[in-house]
Amino acid sequence: MNLVRRNLVERMMWIISVLFLLNIPIEGWAKDKISYFLGPGDVVKVFVWEHPELSGEITVDPAGNISFLLLGDVMVEGLTEEELEGVLTEGLCRYIMNPNVSVTIVGYHSKKIYILGEVHRPGEYPIGGGVISLKESIVKAGLPTTSAALRRVRVITPQITKPRVKVVNLDKVLNKGDLKENIDLHAGDVVYIPSNIPTKIGNVLDKITSPISKILVFLGLVGETTK
């Protein structure tokens, strides 16, 4: 997908998600496990059997390409490991007889989730592979603050048509080991931990520099910090 178009779609998804943040009805929650699709910032390790000059680690550039000897720039954004192996194998067939290519993702940096609200380190967090558990993501964000309303945490999945929202009892996840509430998060998901003290929400979100928090303040969903 064209980089400009992709960025536009992402912005649309975030804006739509915020608009529905407090009013969208809760719907059923079901997600299939998905493969990891490469994106800018990811790092792949390419191994070409008997050709060490073609092997090594390569970072996907901001345009979604990797620079590969003999083949030049190769578009890899949106491809899985297996698909990239096929692309490189097909390209190298013009120069090498029966090339044996393997690809491994060694750096997961393009897929992120967003943790907002009453945690000690709100912000965006890269996820390895395709998913990360809710509990693991909250640990990465420094765990909830003492003002967190753990029983009404919202997990928002951005979609162009209508974002999905699930209310989760984080108290059961962290303090009672309830695996049913410990749902998987996918790239782009937003976890919002509200406060038991409404006036503090603005103070917390004001510290976050991500575009999402700015949209929240702009739309008046949270209070702005008094300077």
| Model confidence, pTM | 0.57
CB-count exposure of residue 20 (10 Å: 0-12, 13-18, 19+): middle
Confidence of residue 33 (pLDDT cuts 50, 70, 90): very low
89/161 same-domain check? no
Angstrom distance (rounded) from CA 114 to CA 125: 6
| Residues 193 and 118: beta-carbon distance below 8 Å | yes
Same domain, 47 and 129: no
pLDDT tens by residue, 145-171: 999 999 999 999 887 777 889 999 999
| Residue 172 belongs to a domain | yes
Number of structural domains (the chain) is 2
CATH number at residue 95: 3.30.1950.10
Whether 58 and 137 map to the same domain: the answer is: no
In a domain, 3, yes or no: no
Provide the percentage of residues in the chain whose pLDDT is more than 90. 52
The verdict on 174 and 123 lying in the same domain is yes
Helix (H, G, I), strand (E, B) or coil at 109: coil
| 88 pLDDT above the threshold of 80 | yes
Residue 99 pLDDT exceeds 90? yes
- Arithmetic mean of pLDDT, 24-44: 59
CATH of the domain at 31: 3.10.560.10
- Which residues sit opposite 119 in a β-bridge? 144
> In which band, very low, low, confident or very high, does the pLDDT at 24 lie, cut at 50, 70 and 90?
very low
Residue where a domain terminates, one of 68, 88, 107: 107
Q: At CA 31, angle to CA 25 and CA 33, rounded to 5?
A: 160
Per the CB < 8 A criterion, the answer to whether 140 and 215 are in contact is no
The residue range of the domain holding 153 is: 26-35+111-218
- Say if residue 101 is in the same domain as residue 116: no
Does residue 219 or residue 46 have the better pLDDT?
A: 46
Distance, CA of 166 to CA of 169 (rounded, Å): 10
